[in-house]
Amino acid sequence: MSPESETSGGLKTELTLGLPGDLQVQKSGIKRGFSEVVDLKLVNDSKAESQPPSTTQVVGWPPVRSYRKNLVKNCKYVKVAADGAPYLRKIDLEIHSSYQDLLTAMGDMFTCLTICNVLNERKLVDSANGEEYVPTYEDKDGDWMLVGDVPWKMFVESCKRMRLMKSSEAIGLGAAAPSTPSKGSSTSC
């Protein structure tokens, strides 16, 4: 039981037997939102017994745990898969304001990829082998679309998940996308 620190297998676990509450490194889940919402609670408390305000949210009401709350169809967290990457990642579309912003984040996430803006098309390139990746997404109707065609907000609302597809496999996707005539040219990779 003596304190020891392990650095095997990429783990950097430092064991200490400190008193509870003394722990320097405390992992607290992001889901418990007490301190952020106490102010809100203060505001609503005085009204709790009289006419309930119709639109103000009360802390902890209805009593549904936080992990059950993201079940409305417009979920802002979307999964991102990249061809060849072993793990899926998740990205919060809400915190980005534009496609450029989003691509930057994806470039950070899959660190081997850098953004390459060629002819106004948005692609990510693997600097190691020059392989091009095209960001695509699945919309509410289950169709796979190229990222960037619709206004940003509309994209955020309708996007269910994303794929970084190898350019070579994105053939045919452009043809299925609606409206813009320039799409035809972008699919011949």
Partner 1 sequence: MSEDEELPDLVGGSTRSSNSTAVSGGGDQNYVSPSPDQVLENVIENVLYFLTSRHDRNAASLVCKSWYHAEALTRSELFIGNCYSVSPCRVTNRFKLIKAIAIKGKPRFSDFSLLPPDWGAHFAPWLRAMAVSYRALEKVYLKRMCVSDEDLAIAAHSFPILKELVLVCCEGFGTDGLAIVARECRHIRVLELVDSDITDDEVDWISCFPDDVTCLESLIFDCVESPINFEALERLVARSPSLKKLRLNSYISIRQLYCLMIRAPQLTHLGTGSFSTLEIVAQGEQEPDYISAFAACKSLICLSGFKDINPEYLSAIYPVCGNLTSLNLSYANISAEQLKPVICQCHKLQTFWALDSVSDEGLQAVSAACKDLRELRVFPVEALEDAEGPVSEVGLLAISEGCRKLQSILYFCQRMTNAAVVAMSKNCPDLVVFRLCIMGRHRPDHVTGEPMDEGFGAIVKNCKKLTRLAVSGLLTDRAFNYIGQYGKLLRTLSVAFAGNTDLGLKYLLEGCPKLLKLEIRDSPFGDSALFAGLHHYYNMRFMWLSSCKVTRHGCEEVARQLPGLVVEVIALNEEDKETNEYVDTMYLYRSLDRPRADAPRMMVRPPLIVGKALYKYKAGLPLAGLKISRSPCGSMYLSS
Footprint of partner 1 (CB under 8 A): 1, 6, 9-11, 13-17, 19-21, 23, 26-35, 37-39, 41-42, 45, 48-49, 52, 54-55, 57-69, 71-73, 79, 81, 83, 86-89, 142, 161, 163, 165, 169, 172
Q: Under a CB-based contact definition with an 8 Å cutoff, are residues 178 and 144 in contact? A: no
Residue 170 burial (CB < 10 Å; 0-12/13-18/19+)? buried
The least CB distance from residue 133 to partner 1, in Å, is: 11
Query: Nearest distance from residue 174's CB to partner 1, in Å?
Result: 14
Nearer to partner 1, 144 or 152 (CB): 144
Report, in Å, the least distance between residue 168 CB and partner 1.
Answer: 11
Give, rounded to a whole angstrom, the gap between the first and last alpha carbons of the chain.
60
How far is the C-alpha of 156 from the C-alpha of 72, rounded, in Å?
14
Cβ 136 vs Cβ 114: under 8 Å: no
Smallest separation, CB 151 to partner 1 (Å): 25
**Residues 76, 96 contacting (CB under 8 angstroms):** no
| Least distance to partner 1, CB of residue 143, Å | 13
CB closer to partner 1 out of 75 and 116: 75
Tell me the three state secondary structure of residue 144: strand
Strands 5-6 and 113-118: unpaired
Indicate the residue among 62 and 178 with the shorter CB distance to partner 1. 62
Nearer to partner 1, 67 or 98 (CB): 67
**Nearest to partner 1 of 102, 165 (CB atom):** 165
Question: How far apart, in whole angstroms, are the C-alpha atoms of residue 184 and residue 175?
Answer: 6
Pairing of the two strands 77-82 and 113-118: unpaired
